[in-house]
Amino acid sequence: MVGRRFLRNLLESLSYIIAGVIFVAVTKVEIIFSWRFLILILFVPITFSINHFFGVLIGSVGFFLKDTREFQGFAGSYLTLRSILSGMILPLDKAPFSGFFQLTPYAWVLHHQVQIYLGKYTPLETFYVFLGGIIWCVILYFMASFVFKMGLKRNESVGL
């Protein structure tokens, strides 16, 4: 699952890049290349890692679910939740309880990068966002590792 998730994240990232290039070419939108745009490149590994660790975490939950349909429903719910909590459907600063939603790891997938690009964060806030993304990567790494190990122990104890 880890290898499949890594490849899936890589292909998903490439498809976003290709879609962005096509969008810019078709709509003739001007992209302003500034320090804010270049800083976004630093967020690519953070976003990739957050997606990867969530994928491992969600995939490891499969150890605890008995039916494939239950896991598919759980994974589908996760994808919907990710779309909402990352700010893809509604900007997080416009959502109710926006302060809470901006602290979840999903906000580092899209919301904070958009805020940086739009110039709504100062350089110090940009540094804090970058640091927060790294902290979330570490937390998610340990969570994914823990759930994976617990799932392996559970299946070893029942002889699967």
Residue type, position 11, single letter? L
Sign of CA dihedral 17, 20, 22, 28: negative
The tens-digit pLDDT sequence of the chain (160 residues) is 556 667 877 888 788 888 878 877 887 767 666 777 778 788 888 888 888 888 888 888 888 887 888 888 888 888 888 888 888 888 888 878 878 888 889 888 888 888 888 888 898 999 999 999 999 999 999 999 999 999 888 877 766 5
Sequence spans of domains, the chain: 34-158
Pick from 77, 68, 70, 53: which is nearest to 139 by CA? 53
Neighbours of 136 (CB within 10 A): 21
User: What is the value of pTM for the model shown?
Assistant: 0.73
